Structures are given as structure tokens and as C-alpha cells.
A and B are shown apart, each in its own frame.
Chain A
Amino acid sequence: MVELTGQESYLGELYSRNPPDSLARLAGKTVAIAGAGGLGSNIAVSLLRAGVQRLIIADFDRVELSNLNRQYYFSDQVGHLKVEALAENLLRINPYAELVVHPVEITSGNLVALLGGADILVEAFDGAAAKAMAVRAWLGSFPDRYVITGSGLAGFGQSASLVTTVRGRLVICGDQQGNRIEELGLSATRLGIVAQLQANAALEILLSGTMTGYPG
């Protein structure tokens, strides 16, 4: 067990292998994650490891055993609120992270009030209608702030079909193909690729200010 020797030395060592200057440039940046399921839990962990230390996370759901095939939870967390379990797991990586969690259902009526403090919204809902709602609500209020969505990740393999497309401030990660979850199921591997595409896009926007060179 690592002894916590104070914030500065802990964070200095934790982030010593991150890209040069990235930590200073990410200081004060906030990412909101709407949904803490397969996408959201993995995105939160990656963003924190990448040096995004301020996260707002919303989800009303509780951890189920069937989530553990792809979501960043553990068997002793079954039954716990996802946002509380995720906050625990994140603080085990970086105990100094600044986390705001909302154990509520995000709707078009509360999205801006609960998540609008962030520089970027990462949409990580399960349902297609909730995904579309989040994009409309976010860009309707913040036309200059990026929203990064995950759309289409069922099955396994076929990594090349999972791509990032950019339309203005809307970034879409996934294969965007049909509703095929019942038929194809969900694998940690393919879902994980989409989660990392989303987290990587958020990092790119926070560090470079833009997403250039992607298909539209």
C-alpha cells in the first residue's frame, strides 16, 4: 500500500507518465458524464487517469451483478448506487479528485442545471432516446460546447467499424448501426473501445480546443 505523503507528491507521481504539460492544461477543466453504466464508468476512470480531476457524474441506477461483465464495479458493490460506487473507485485511484455526483435521472428539464457547470458533456446513457435528448438539450443551451456521444457498440470484434465522427460540436463514437443488443449482446471489449474513443475525444478537446481531421 502506497503511503499518502501529501497531495502534491501523490499527484506528481500518479501523473508522472502523462503527456508533457497535460496536467497543467487540464487544471480547472470539468467534464460531465451523463450515465454511469458501461460507457460512463469506464470513461470516468480513463479521464481521471488522463488527468481530468473534476468530474460531474449522474445516474439513478444501482449496480447489478449482470453489469460486472463490462462496467467498472466490483462484486461487493452490487446493490449500491452507481454514482456512489464509482466515486469510491475513482477516489481509490486519485483521492484528491473533485467529484460531484447526482443520483437522479437526467431529463431535458434538469440536464442543464445539473451538468451545465462542465466544459464538455460526455453522453453515456443506455437508451437511444436519452442519447438524442442529451444532445438536443446540451447544444440547445451551449452551442459552443462539445457533446461526445456513444452510439452503436453491440457484439464483439469488428474493431474497424467503431469510429469517431464530428459534426460541429457533436462528436459521435461507435458504429451507429441499428438496435442490435438483443441479438448480439454486449462485450467489455467492444463497449470498452467506444468508451475509450469518447474519453480520448474529451481529452483531445480539452487539450487542443478542437477536433480536427475526423470524418463528418
Chain B
Amino acid sequence: MELRVNGEHKTLPQGLTINELLLELQIPAETLVVELNGTILQSADYPLTVLKEQDRLELIQFVGGG
């Protein structure tokens, strides 16, 4: 399926969950905020949320320091 991740077109296997996508991309979920079609997701939703064709996904990685 085709979707947009951080503004770029990506082709990913059908039926992938957010959790599976993060594992595949090797992105640590702890320091990440996931926005799907304009809505910020809760971590508990990652294994339950199945990505669909044309979804717009933003993976916002936070950086330490304050």
C-alpha cells in the first residue's frame, strides 16, 4: 500500500500496524510522537492501529536537553 510518512511517499506491506512499522523502521517508540491523519496517537494504540492506503503519518522524534 501507498502512504505518506513525514511527507514522503512510501510503499509498505498491507495490514501493517503502527507497532510493526516502528519495528521495521527501527524507530524507538519511547521518544516518539505519532500523528496519523492529523491526530496524535496514544502509545497503547500503536499495536491496534492498522495503516491504510493513503494514510498521512508523521513520526516526530524528540531530542533531549532542557
Contacts and interface: CB of A to CB of B under 8 A. Distances in A.
B11 interface: no
Contact of A126 (B31, B32, B66): B66
A176 B63 contact: yes
Interface of A: 35, 37-40, 124-129, 131-132, 135-136, 139-140, 143, 149-154, 167-168, 170, 172, 174-181, 186, 191
Interface residue tally on B, bucketed by range: 10 to 19
Given A136-B42, A140-B40, 10 more contacts: A35-B66, A37-B66, A128-B61, A129-B62, A131-B62, A132-B30, A135-B60, A151-B62, A167-B60, A176-B61
18 contacts: A35-B66, A126-B66, A127-B64, A128-B63, A131-B31, A131-B66, A135-B60, A135-B62, A136-B40, A150-B65, A150-B66, A167-B35, A167-B58, A174-B63, A175-B63, A176-B61, A179-B64, A191-B66
A168 B61 contact: no
Contact of B66 (A38, A136, A175): A38
Interface of B: 30-33, 35, 38-43, 58, 60-66
A179 B42 contact: no
A150 B43 CA distance: 21
Interface centre among A129, A132, A143, A170, by most B CB within 10 Å? Answer: A132
Contacts of A191: 65-66
Given A128-B31, A131-B31, A172-B60, A181 B38 contact: no
A81 B35 CA distance: 36
B33 A170 contact: yes
B65 A124 contact: no
A40 to B, nearest CB: 7
A178 B63 CA distance: 6
A170 B63 contact: no
B54 to A, nearest CB: 19
A170 B35 CA distance: 10
Contacts of B38: 168
